Amino acid sequence: MINLETPRKFRPFVKQAHQVAEEFLRANSRKYDRAEHAYPKELDLLASLVDGMGDSGQSAGAGAAGVRRDDDEAAGSKKVKNGTNMSSVLSIIEMCWADVGLLLSMPRQGLGNSAIASVANEEQLERFKGTWASMAITEPSFGSDSAAITTTAVKDGDAYVLNGEKIFVTAGERSDSVVVWATLDKSLGRAAIKSFLVTKDLPGIRVERLEHKLGIRSSDTAVIVLDNCRVPAENLLGNPEIDTKQGFAGAMATFDNTRPLVAGMAVGCARAALEDTRTLLEEAGVVIDYDRPVQSQSYAAATFIAMEADWEAALLLTLEAAWLADNRKPNSMQASMAKAKAGRVGNDITLRCVELAGTLGYSENELIEKWSRDSKILDIFEGTQQIQQLIIARRLLNLTSSELR
């Protein structure tokens, strides 16, 4: 049974993550929000510290190494486990309490590295250790329907030749490699979609441009073009065989592990907004009384209490999805529920905090206005709100993607 308290073994780590977030990320948050596309060089030292902690076994990093499920360790075991999925989510919550964009800018700690940890074999894990990988899924012709991928990978001797265009690639310029989703055979549909580790030094891959964005401005978001890019065959992550019976499940397993991480980002960002808004309300004389019915309190107090309740629900769903992953239990529906709830709640809370804080919330004197901008992407990437609801409905009704579209 899941215990809702932070596991004792993670408490020192969570405290340390919070201190790092406050001293490194929060301190530089506004600076790099204004200096869009400027590389946050302060993160180099932080990333080295995180790498060192991971190598020493003190932590699982900020998410990169925290999504792999160890079959041998968990198989047949009935012991409740709090492992790398849980520690990664707890770490990300603290980091995004400070700054979502800067977390996404941390070398070797992004969703591309999470994808490697999710699907790579043991040999690949060792060979790609130390790479900074961004993840390239979305294309100009589609948004959240990952099964609509048109980027092709054609086997040619000891290599695959990749052709296509990827958009909205987080850390696409700064990373040294890209996890590219491509199809081996369009006629076989979803089952033929595989992911490839494409290093930036290979001929045929280029960054076309960088996007200007509403939020997470400290994180670079790129358009990447693959033009007859020859990728070594051993860089196909996981099993190269096409299993039509398994369908898209192998590729989608990555999302089961990364969506709780994105939910954690939303939870952390929303918590920051709630904390600052509570301080501003108390300074303005607003009394928030948990012992009185909300209908007998001011609008500001009642709204704040309702937001806290929504935030708590998002947090618990996020922890559940991570706990299920650590304990080798199916979590596809729970991962989507956590992502859907946290993404929607995170954006709703930050916007309402702007509203409650009035002119202070709308100005750059406070970080609340920034968090309201940053939070929107967390309701969109890794599968939009609408896609998550569709996945949840399919699981609840036991319907396939072709039966419920």
> Three-state SS string across the chain, please?
CCCCCCCHHHHHHHHHHHHHHHHHHHHHHHHHHHCCCCCCCHHHHHHHHHHHHHHCCCCCCCCCCCCCCCHHHHCCCCCCCCCHHHHHHHHHHHHHHHCHHHHHCCCCCCHHHHHHHHHCCHHHHHHCCCCCEEEECCECCECCCHHHCCCEEEEECCEEEEEEEEEEEECCCCCCEEEEEEECCHHHHHHHEEEEEEECCCCCEEEEEECCCCCCCCCCEEEEEEEEEEEEHHHECCCCCCCCCCCCHHHHHHHHHHHHHHHHHHHHHHHHHHHHHHHHHHHCCCCCCCCCCHHHCCHHHHHHHHHHHHHHHHHHHHHHHHHHHHCCCCCHHHHHHHHHHHHHHHHHHHHHHHHHHCHHHHCCCCCHHHHHHHHHHCCCCCCCHHHHHHHHHHHHHCCCCCCCC
Taking the CA atoms of 342, 403, 138 and 128 in sequence, report the sign of the dihedral they define.
positive
The Cα 89–Cα 106 span in angstroms is 16
The Cα 134–Cα 167 span in angstroms is 12
User: For residue 253, is pLDDT > 60?
Assistant: yes
The Cα 207–Cα 345 span in angstroms is 34
Q: What is the mean pLDDT of residues 189-207?
A: 94
The Cα 101–Cα 374 span in angstroms is 7
**Average pLDDT of the chain, as a whole number:** 90
- Residue 76 has a pLDDT of 52
Token pair recorded at residue 27: 């301190």
Are 268 and 94 in contact, with CB atoms under 8 Å apart? yes
Residue 306, C-beta contacts closer than 8 angstroms, at least 6 positions apart: 294
- Residue 118 has a pLDDT of 82
Q: What is the mean pLDDT of residues 234-238?
A: 94
The Cα 332–Cα 69 span in angstroms is 14
- Residue 74 has a pLDDT of 46
User: For residue 68, is pLDDT > 60?
Assistant: no
- Residue 66 has a pLDDT of 45
Chain mean position to CA 144: 15
- Chain segment 217-227, per-residue pLDDT in tens: 999 999 999 99
Chain mean position to CA 14: 18
* Closest to 319 in 3D by CA, of 338, 332, 345: 338
- Residue 229 has a pLDDT of 98
Bridge partners (DSSP) of residue 392 are none
User: For residue 257, is pLDDT > 80?
Assistant: yes
- What pTM value is reported for the model? 0.92
- Angle at the Cα of 96 from the Cα atoms of 16 and 28, rounded to 5 degrees: 85
Task: Give backbone dihedrals phi and psi of 30, rounded to 5 degrees, phi first.
Answer: -70, -35
First-last CA distance in the chain: 34
Residue with tokens 């405290």: 15
Give me the amino acid identity at 87: S
- Residue 53 has a pLDDT of 63
How would you classify residue 298: left for phi > 0, otherwise alpha for psi between -120 and 50, otherwise beta? beta
The Cα 355–Cα 11 span in angstroms is 34
The Cα 263–Cα 320 span in angstroms is 11
- Chain segment 270-288, per-residue pLDDT in tens: 999 999 999 999 999 999 9
The Cα 378–Cα 356 span in angstroms is 22
**Domains, in order of start, for the chain:** 8-127 (1.10.540), 133-235 (2.40.110.10), 249-397 (1.20.140.10)
Reported confidence tier of residue 260, pLDDT bands at 50, 70, 90: very high
- Chain segment 162-194, per-residue pLDDT in tens: 999 999 999 999 999 999 999 999 898 888 999
Question: Would you please indicate which residues are annotated as catalytic (active-site) residues?
Answer: 382
For 53, 64, 350, the CA distances from 340, given in Å and listed in that order, are 31, 22, 16
* Closest to 69 in 3D by CA, of 86, 51, 56: 86
Reported confidence tier of residue 77, pLDDT bands at 50, 70, 90: low
How would you classify residue 176: left for phi > 0, otherwise alpha for psi between -120 and 50, otherwise beta? alpha
